[in-house]
Amino acid sequence: MKRVQLGATGIGIFPLIYGTLPLGPLQAGITPREGGRLIRHALEQGVTMLDTAALYGTYPHVREGLDGWRGEVTIATKTHAADAATARAHVEQALRELGRERLDIVHIHGARVADPFTERAEVLEALLTMKQEGKIAHVGFSSHYIEAFRKAVSHPEFEVVHPLINKNGMGILDGTAAEMAVAIAACARSGQGVYAMKALAGGNLIAEARQSMAFVAGLEGIHGVAVGMLSEQEIDANVAFFEREVMDEAVWQGLESRSRKLLIMEQFCKGCGKCIEICGSKALSLVGGKAVVDEAACVLCGYCGSGCPEFFIRVV
């Protein structure tokens, strides 16, 4: 299978990375057993890296998929903590729930953080301390801000970065796709491993999936692309593309005919506004005391659902 070096980390990966967000309660809400079955299928087809996060609720799915697995695997997780104590708790949780002695990559989960070096300085220090303790192999960060990656070039303590990029620039908070592409290339040239998120804009670009995937995979400095997959057919189609650039017309027409949306159970919404505070894309607002979504702005990440105290929001 094809292998790409993830920057200067020494980690070789298959360039398709399994994004586990859609498996968990923020999106499809499938069982750990079913999610684990899909993860195992991806590993058996040649995928070598999994992307998860404390926020996603998918550690049980990952552990199920890895149960008995003897092949190679790299796990990247994230902490959305704003302080050192919570960051340490998130790392300890990941180690415990994933059954690992060391985490391969831990990102500062900063979708709305433009400057992780000041806004998350305490968290960065905690992660670097845990790296010294042997609990983390590599420290990184994820963001929807171009500025964060521009700054990252001069910060080698971040060995891996996880930027949002798609051909329409949807979800980028401070510029265009072309500007983000320039920042990504600079990070890669500095030796940082780069793997992209939201190549399909959370599902908004499903109808143009082949074109959208090829755009991101072809950018200078992209070592891998994290893709959420909910069926063996999706996994097989994506593996074939990343391995041989093969795209079965009938299969991809079927995959591109799907649609996704953010479901808000308006009849139960109490208008607390917590989902609006979380939304980095500014796609949510209160209208008549109920949360409503601007579908043109929503990147279907599902993070808003984590803030709903009644669990009335989901990507479907």
Q: Where are the domains of the chain?
A: 4-257, 262-315
pTM > 0.75: yes or no? yes
**Domain 262-315 -> CATH class:** alpha beta
Q: What 3-state DSSP class applies to 215?
A: helix
In angstroms, rounded to a whole number, what is the distance separating the alpha carbons of residues 193 and 204?
26
Mean pLDDT by 10 residues, the chain (316 residues): 95 98 90 98 98 96 97 97 97 98 96 87 97 98 95 94 94 94 98 95 82 94 96 93 78 75 82 91 92 90 82 76
Radius of gyration of the chain (CA): 18
Q: Which of 204, 212, 254 has the alpha carbon at shortest distance from 233?
A: 254
pLDDT digits (tens, 9 = 90+) for 199-258: 988 777 888 888 999 999 999 999 999 999 999 999 999 999 999 876 677 777 776 777
In angstroms, rounded to a whole number, what is the distance separating the alpha carbons of residues 148 and 118?
11
In angstroms, rounded to a whole number, what is the distance separating the alpha carbons of residues 306 and 275?
8
Output the pLDDT for position 254.
76
Domain 4-257 annotated CATH 3.30.460.80 = no
Output the pLDDT for position 165.
96
